[in-house]
Structure 1
Amino acid sequence: MNAMPPVHPDPLPYAHLLPLRAPAAIDLVVVHCTELPDLATARMYGERVLYDSGTGNSGHYYIDRDGSIHQYVAAERTAHHVRGINPRSLGIELVNSGRYPHWLDSRHQAMDEPYAQAQVDALIALLRALPAQLPALRWIAGHEELDTEQVPASDDPARRVPRKRDPGPHFPWAEVLAAIPLQRLPERP
């Protein structure tokens, strides 16, 4: 059994308003990147109330570039991190600039920032430990695999760009998959 790595609990102000769920309902981890410059900005975005329920968009865990792990939402709560998949999934956000600040500009779709090794190591440690707490946890996927919607580009509405591209081309899937007990989620029909 793998020990849980150090986690800094830092619940979002509205975390208690997110729906409860049974640990047995969680069978999927979704890997994201924040597409923001730093953890403080990611926290600010996570605190924004966007829904009538008094909640907003967030992941469960955030891993900073230095490998520190921050928990914004408890696993037994359903966070808003990927459309249509939230009730069964746990969202892990890696701090990475992605396409920031021109997310939907067709001229700025490259995601050039590599992931820090400390960040990847922390993710692997977390993914090795979570199945002990969540016995149904079996699958892993990237956000870009689950949200494939194309939207009008902000610079030219006649062009379409991916709404989500994270965790992006620099995410080390081979390294992560070789080190964890989870399997890649099969493609949806």
Structure 2
Amino acid sequence: MFINISYKYKSKNYDLRKKKISFIIIHYTETKTLEEAIKILTSKKSKVSSHFVIDRNGDIYNLVKIKFRAWHAGVSKWKRTNDINSRSIGIELVNAGEKSNEEFSNLQIDNLIKLIIQLKEEYNINSKDILGHSDIAPSRKIDPGIYFPWKKLFKFSLGNWTKTRGKKKPLQQDEKYFLLNNLKRIGYPIMNINDNQTNNKVVDAFHRHYLTELVGHSADQRSLLKSVDLLKNN
């Protein structure tokens, strides 16, 4: 599979990678243009970068060599991994952000899929370790947002998804704890089962990935059943 990648732009915002690559993390730039995104990702002052940026027209740009540790994940965690930057490849999609209600273009997603397929094979990455920024940093981030097509990626065995539906029925208190425990086992960073403020953001991150209509709302039976189904194959 041939993928055309441009090396037109370079970022110096990186350091040495300390661990084996095992994750791919997907972001959006929250910018109106590619140029604005490139300016941020290559600025010394910003102290952020990513390995790849994909424009709305599908053009792919490599900013940091994969052998280096780009600064895209920030303070984040998945399962027992804290230093996500050292173990991941970061991909930014040019997009104005969830609050702008901008959907991703077909060309952008099609080329993202091609790129991830190649990276997954080359670095032997588990499909379930293809995640969004909000999955690994739910208290800080919401990208790639509710418009990101996780279901489409899953058709190519990329990322994770569940078709389980369930009923729109509120959870009892014991079921809420059951859900949080499931999310922790899946990989979400739940540190304190009684920290409602933080845990609500974790549940929102889960909904952003698997049940977008519940973002900003309380979990229900659908949330719980989806978490159970995901654990069966986790």
Q: Displacement, 1:180?
A: 3.5
In structure 2, which of residues 48, 52, 64 is the aligned counterpart of residue 61 of structure 1? 52
* SS of aligned partner of 2:186: coil
* Aligned pairs (5 A) from 1:17-56: 18-21=15-18, 25-50=20-45, 56=47
Equivalents in 1 of 2:2, 2:87: separation in Å? Answer: 21
**Which residue is equivalent to 2:85?**
86
Amino acid corresponding to residue 95 of structure 1 in structure 2: V
Bigger helix share = 2
Q: Displacement, 1:131?
A: 2.4
**Contact 1:32–1:167 (CA under 8 A) maintained in structure 2:** yes
**Which sits farther off after the overlay, 123-132 or 27-36?**
123-132
- Change in 2 beyond 3 A, CA 1:180/1:10: farther
- The reply on whether 1:174 has 2:151 as its aligned counterpart is yes
| Aligned structure 1 segments of 4 or more residues deviating by more than 4 angstroms | 181-185
Higher relative contact order (CA 8 A, sep 6+): 1
* SS of aligned partner of 2:27: strand
Equivalents in 1 of 2:29, 2:131: separation in Å? Answer: 16
TM-score w.r.t. length of structure 2: 0.61
**Contact 2:17–2:87 (CA under 8 A) maintained in structure 1:** no
Equivalents in 2 of 1:44, 1:171: separation in Å? Answer: 24
Amino acid corresponding to residue 60 of structure 1 in structure 2: H
Q: Displacement, 1:12?
A: 2.1
Q: Displacement, 1:4?
A: 4.4
* CA displacement 1:52-80 (0-9 Å, x = unmatched): xxxx2011110100011111011111000
Question: Pairwise CA RMSD of aligned residues?
Answer: 2.2
**Which residue is equivalent to 2:136?**
146
Which structure's CA Rg is the greater one? 2
Equivalents in 1 of 2:153, 2:54: separation in Å? Answer: 14
Equivalents in 2 of 1:133, 1:115: separation in Å? Answer: 26
List gaps (5 residues or longer) in structure 2.
Answer: 75-82, 162-184, 191-234
**Which residue is equivalent to 1:155?**
none
**Contact 1:34–1:97 (CA under 8 A) maintained in structure 2:** yes
* SS of aligned partner of 1:78: strand
